[in-house]
């Protein structure tokens, strides 16, 4: 189950997630967040009942900035979910921004059964942070990380971005060293993506962004540094110490079922026997979410049927992001065909180009091959028609 918390302390210039900038200390923001948690719990209850969910293997509370809810509200949300869910999820992640993940919030998470904290660090380099109008300040980051590490020793993940304004190889290396000194068990290293419509896409930013080749070199150097430190790349942008991969995200990449609650959240339910599915998504509109008559999932969500052809494409798209490749057994049982039967020419062509790992009997992309994922997928989709 994915829960979307649509509040942030500000709006970062590169971000295209749905979120509203609020002053969390203001009484009207507090009332809004209280009302939101009530609606969220009611929505989660409706969905669990409507879809007859018997097990929730993973829970992910993302956003936005869930830590902005504060300790008491986060505790109420976690206790409410605990009472609703048919089982205690094997993995429970909460996203947090370092500056709002204070001691009370972390205690509330730990007491509420949260097993992972996922921190939006992005960079310690203040010029890069300021250029993106990233919320928070690098001066307090180390203190914030020390606190998180105390509550979640080897139990937290952090996001870093390569290709930021004013970032050099030395700056990125220093970001990685500083982060690793706090002992995270998982790091997501993203390439900065300039999404159309975000302030970063405006022409005035072009002069301070690294050109594409430089940004690629930065990311590659970051990947090498993480691997040298013992982190294993298990997906395009994700690195973990052994046994510390994010089980929730692996479920997305395997195209397993998930429910989504909160504005802009989506859920996908797949019928394994037919190889078809349904995707439901709430519009990115908090007011509409709060005002929707219950059950909101039927009245306020956009719903799309996923036929076999669409699901085969998505399973290939998601599965090849992982170093272990797609789950071939699951694919065959859903679609009564193997991946090799769906895209024989693409596989043969890319086998010759070294896309797959030689040490694997399966269809697992090699470390080098993963860099060419987009081209591989273009060929695969052309072959699927």
Applying CB under 6 A, the residues found at the interface with ligand SF4 are 8, 11-12, 15, 17, 19, 63-65, 97, 120, 135
Alpha carbons within 13 angstroms on the beta-carbon side of residue 226 total 31
Smallest distance, ligand SF4 to C-beta of residue 109, A: 18
Cβ proximity to ligand SF4, 65 vs 249, nearer residue? 65
Smallest distance, ligand SF4 to C-beta of residue 19, A: 5
Smallest distance, ligand SF4 to C-beta of residue 14, A: 7
Smallest distance, ligand SF4 to C-beta of residue 346, A: 35
Cβ proximity to ligand SF4, 105 vs 331, nearer residue? 105
Smallest distance, ligand SF4 to C-beta of residue 140, A: 15
Place of tokens 């399973």: 315
Q: CA-CA distance, 219 to 215, in Å (whole number)?
A: 6
Q: Apex CA 63: angle with CA 201 and CA 149, to 5°?
A: 110
Tokens of 295: 């059950």
Phi, psi torsion values for 159, nearest 5 degrees: -95, 135
Smallest distance, ligand SF4 to C-beta of residue 8, A: 3
Cβ proximity to ligand SF4, 56 vs 109, nearer residue? 109
CA proximity to 91, closest of 60, 135, 46: 60
Cβ proximity to ligand SF4, 17 vs 372, nearer residue? 17
Tokens of 161: 């971005």
Strand pairing partners for 244? none
CB–CB of 281/260 below 8 Å? yes
Smallest distance, ligand SF4 to C-beta of residue 263, A: 13
Cβ proximity to ligand SF4, 64 vs 163, nearer residue? 64
Phi, psi torsion values for 12, nearest 5 degrees: -75, 145
Q: CA-CA distance, 342 to 226, in Å (whole number)?
A: 35
CB–CB of 241/231 below 8 Å? yes
Contacts of 238 (CB under 8 A, 6+ apart): 186, 187, 188, 189, 245, 246, 249
Cβ proximity to ligand SF4, 11 vs 384, nearer residue? 11
Cβ proximity to ligand SF4, 63 vs 365, nearer residue? 63
Tokens of 299: 């009245």
Tokens of 215: 């940004």
């Amino acid at each position: 189950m994915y829960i979307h918390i649509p509040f942030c302390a500000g709006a970062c210039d590169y971000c295209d997630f749905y979120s509203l900038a609020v002053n969390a200390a203001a009484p009207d923001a507090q009332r809004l967040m209280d009302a939101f948690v009530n609606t969220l719990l009611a929505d989660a209850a409706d969905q669990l009942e409507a879809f007859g969910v018997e097990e929730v293997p993973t829970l992910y509370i993302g956003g936005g900035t869930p830590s902005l809810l504060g300790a008491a509200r986060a505790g109420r949300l976690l206790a409410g979910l605990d009472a609703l869910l048919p089982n205690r999820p094997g993995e429970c992640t909460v996203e947090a921004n370092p500056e709002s993940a204070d001691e009370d919030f972390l205690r509330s998470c730990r007491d509420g059964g949260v097993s992972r904290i996922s921190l939006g660090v992005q960079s310690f380099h203040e010029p890069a942070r300021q250029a993106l109008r990233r919320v928070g300040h690098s001066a307090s980051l180390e203190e914030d990380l020390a606190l998180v590490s105390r509550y979640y020793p080897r139990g937290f993940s952090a996001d870093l971005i390569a290709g930021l304004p004013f970032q050099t190889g030395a700056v990125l290396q220093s970001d990685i060293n500083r982060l690793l000194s706090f002992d995270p068990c998982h790091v997501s290293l993203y390439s900065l993506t300039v999404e159309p419509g975000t302030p970063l896409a405006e022409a005035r930013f072009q002069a301070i962004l690294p050109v594409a080749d430089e940004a690629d070199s930065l990311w590659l150097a970051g990947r090498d540094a993480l691997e040298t430190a013992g982190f294993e790349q298990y997906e395009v942008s994700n690195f973990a110490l052994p046994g510390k991969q994010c089980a929730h995200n692996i479920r997305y990449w395997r195209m397993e079922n998930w429910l989504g609650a909160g504005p802009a959240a989506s859920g996908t339910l797949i019928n394994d026997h037919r190889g078809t599915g349904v995707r439901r998504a709430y519009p990115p509109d908090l007011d509409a979410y709060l005002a929707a008559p219950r059950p909101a999932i039927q009245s306020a969500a956009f719903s799309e049927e996923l036929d076999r052809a669409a699901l085969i494409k998505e399973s290939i798209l998601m599965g090849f992001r992982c170093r272990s490749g797609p789950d071939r057994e699951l694919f065959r049982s859903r679609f009564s065909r193997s991946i090799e039967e769906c895209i024989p020419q693409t596989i043969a062509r890319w086998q010759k180009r070294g896309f797959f790992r030689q040490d694997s009997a399966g269809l697992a992309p090699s470390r080098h091959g993963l860099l060419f994922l987009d081209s591989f997928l273009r060929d695969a989709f052309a072959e699927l028609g």
